[in-house]
């Protein structure tokens, strides 16, 4: 078995960022690729291992974004690489709905076992988070024979037509891309830092606003599903107040509504639990997963109560590539890594280092208005000191400084003022601390 040797887990700059080779290659990027694509860091990647990205100029960059929360088990993780190599030599594709294979079944068995809930569960595999959300909605509508979908302010669920309708933020996700799918209703999200009156105990307020809206504007009996991210990702790592998710789950059950957790960004050890809903022992009827599931290969899942997942007629669900054998092999390697290397514990350990360091920074720099998140999913919200006014300029300056020193950090937030940390959960303490010292320098340099 040929497995590439690991890159040393250390930051190393040999040119400016971007270096001359990246600059040349990025000109070709501009020529060849759609202008509709974004770019967080202007370098071209040649290789990566765990939390280090190596660019074509030879710079080693610390990855605090994991390709948007995907490489939880590390980039090109050993067990993922081994299983994918073995699979690519066996067969590359049959289409699970044409001629089935074991790895798809094994990934579904693992999802059914690992997701919360002691009832019988079944799963379906697709290619992306958005496709998984679409399928969860299809199934919930089919099962309930209802149409309305309830989503939240600040939510992100994808870029396809239905999921654009479900996503909250207009620019850049929706601007000019309408018309959007009907029967999607948005309700308030208890965003503690910005809730009306700047209150902290808002679960009851929020539930009243939401149930009132549902009952008066939609009719609870028309709602097929309520879908929520247990910690909102793109919206700015907004953590719901304690008790909110349990209350929503109960309201759903009481009203025959399917409660769906979109764990695309929060799932698979990221928040210090296998799934973020476990924090408050919430048991959703369906869970949507993607990103971290397969160590970087494209795979997503929908897992739910067996009677819901089985309510659809045979051939009502599917897709050519869904649960591709390479992606399933990768997922089995990634899931094994999470268990064998105890990544739930590791995420909590990272959470402690990250949280302590971000809170210390916030105590020193009043433009850090809020520190929030859990485990290896935390963020800081930047404001003009002493106000709630978003400070996008400071966010951009910090990100740019960190990039110039070889640290890749992502942004987020409805108000484009959140710096979010999503390191690979396997990142070493030394590497994380080095990256955080660069972050501190960035604030000092403002």
Contacts with ligand PLZ by CB under 6 A lie at: 68, 128-130, 133, 156-159, 229, 233-234, 262, 264-265, 290
Three-state SS at 441: helix
Least distance to ligand PLZ from the beta carbon of 319, Å?
A: 13
Least distance to ligand PLZ from the beta carbon of 71, Å?
A: 13
Q: Which is nearer to ligand PLZ, 290 or 367 (CB)?
A: 290
Least distance to ligand PLZ from the beta carbon of 305, Å?
A: 21
Q: Which is nearer to ligand PLZ, 63 or 234 (CB)?
A: 234
Least distance to ligand PLZ from the beta carbon of 145, Å?
A: 25
Strands of 418-421's sheet in order across: 368-374, 377-382, 418-421, 410-412
Q: Which is nearer to ligand PLZ, 168 or 402 (CB)?
A: 168
Tokens 């199934």 found at: 139
Find all residues with CB under 8 Å of 186, minimum gap 6, and list them: 150, 151, 152, 153, 155, 168
Tokens found for residue 297: 């290969």
Tokens found for residue 269: 């050890």
Q: Which is nearer to ligand PLZ, 54 or 302 (CB)?
A: 302
Q: Is-contact 431 62, C-beta < 8 A?
A: yes
Tokens 């939510």 found at: 155
Q: Is-contact 439 423, C-beta < 8 A?
A: no
Q: Which is nearer to ligand PLZ, 146 or 154 (CB)?
A: 154
Find all residues with CB under 8 Å of 71, minimum gap 6, and list them: 48, 63, 77, 292, 295, 296, 424
Tokens 């397969």 found at: 294
Query: What phi, psi does 108 have (nearest 5°)?
Result: -65, -40
Q: Which is nearer to ligand PLZ, 57 or 134 (CB)?
A: 134
Q: Which is nearer to ligand PLZ, 377 or 382 (CB)?
A: 377
Q: Which is nearer to ligand PLZ, 291 or 405 (CB)?
A: 291
Angstrom distance (rounded) from CA 303 to CA 331: 15
Q: Is-contact 127 321, C-beta < 8 A?
A: yes
Least distance to ligand PLZ from the beta carbon of 123, Å?
A: 17
DSSP state of 380: E
Q: Which is nearer to ligand PLZ, 233 or 295 (CB)?
A: 233
Least distance to ligand PLZ from the beta carbon of 261, Å?
A: 10
> Among candidates 374, 360, 353, 367, which has minimal Cα distance to 432?
353
Least distance to ligand PLZ from the beta carbon of 284, Å?
A: 14
Least distance to ligand PLZ from the beta carbon of 183, Å?
A: 19
DSSP state of 215: I
Q: Which is nearer to ligand PLZ, 57 or 263 (CB)?
A: 263
Least distance to ligand PLZ from the beta carbon of 177, Å?
A: 13
Least distance to ligand PLZ from the beta carbon of 130, Å?
A: 3
- Closest residue (Cβ) to ligand PLZ? 129
3-state helix, strand, coil in the chain (%, to 5): 40, 15, 40
> Among candidates 189, 243, 232, 239, which has minimal Cα distance to 213?
189
Least distance to ligand PLZ from the beta carbon of 298, Å?
A: 8
Q: Which is nearer to ligand PLZ, 54 or 274 (CB)?
A: 274
Angstrom distance (rounded) from CA 362 to CA 295: 32
The DSSP-derived string for 54-107 is: EETTS-EEEESSHHHHT-TT-BT-HHHHHHHHHHHHH-S---TTTS--HHHHHH
Handedness of CA 88, 90, 93, 96 (dihedral sign): negative
Three-state SS at 121: strand
């Amino acid at each position: 078995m040929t497995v590439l040797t690991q890159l040393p887990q250390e930051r190393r700059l040999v040119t400016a960022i971007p270096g001359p080779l990246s600059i040349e290659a990025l000109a070709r990027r501009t020529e060849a690729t759609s202008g509709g694509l974004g770019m967080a860091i202007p370098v071209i990647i040649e290789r990566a291992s765990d939390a280090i990205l190596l660019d074509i100029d030879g710079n080693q960059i610390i990855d605090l974004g994991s390709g948007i929360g995907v490489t939880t088990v590390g980039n090109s993780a050993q067990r993922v690489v081994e299983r994918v190599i073995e699979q690519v030599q066996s067969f590359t594709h049959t289409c699970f709905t044409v001629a089935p294979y074991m790895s798809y079944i094994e990934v579904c068995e693992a999802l059914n076992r690992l997701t919360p809930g002691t009832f019988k569960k079944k799963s379906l595999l697709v290619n992306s988070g958005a496709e998984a959300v679409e399928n969860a909605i299809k199934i919930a509508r089919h099962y309930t024979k209802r149409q309305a979908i309830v989503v939240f302010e600040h939510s992100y669920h994808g870029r396809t037509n239905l999921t654009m309708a479900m996503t909250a933020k207009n620019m850049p996700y929706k601007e000019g891309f309408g018309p959007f799918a009907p029967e999607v209703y948005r309700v308030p999200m208890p965003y503690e830092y910005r809730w009306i009156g700047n209150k902290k105990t808002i679960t009851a307020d929020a539930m009243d606003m939401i149930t009132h809206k549902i009952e008066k504007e939609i009719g609870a009996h028309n709602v097929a599903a309520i879908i929520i991210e247990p910690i909102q990702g793109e919206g700015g790592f907004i953590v719901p107040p304690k008790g909110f998710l349990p209350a929503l789950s109960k309201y759903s059950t009481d009203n025959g509504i399917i409660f769906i957790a979109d764990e695309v960004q929060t799932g698979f050890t990221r928040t210090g639990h296998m799934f973020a809903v476990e924090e408050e022992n919430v048991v959703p009827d369906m869970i949507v997963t993607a990103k971290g599931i397969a160590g970087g290969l494209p795979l997503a899942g929908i897992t739910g109560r067996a009677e819901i997942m089985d309510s659809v007629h045979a051939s009502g669900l599917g897709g050519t590539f869904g649960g591709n054998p390479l992606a399933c092999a990768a997922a089995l390697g990634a899931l094994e890594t999470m268990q064998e290397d105890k990544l739930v514990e590791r995420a909590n350990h990272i959470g402690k280092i990250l949280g302590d360091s971000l809170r210390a920074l916030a105590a020193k720099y009043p433009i850090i208005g809020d520190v929030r998140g859990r485990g290896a999913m935390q963020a800081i919200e930047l404001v003009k000191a002493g106000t709630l006014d978003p400070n996008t300029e400071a966010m951009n300056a910090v990100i740019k400084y960190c990039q110039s020193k070889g640290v890749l950090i992502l942004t987020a937030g409805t108000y484009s003022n959140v710096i979010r940390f999503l390191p690979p959960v396997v990142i070493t303490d030394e590497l994380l601390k080095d990256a955080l010292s660069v972050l501190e320098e960035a604030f000092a340099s403002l």
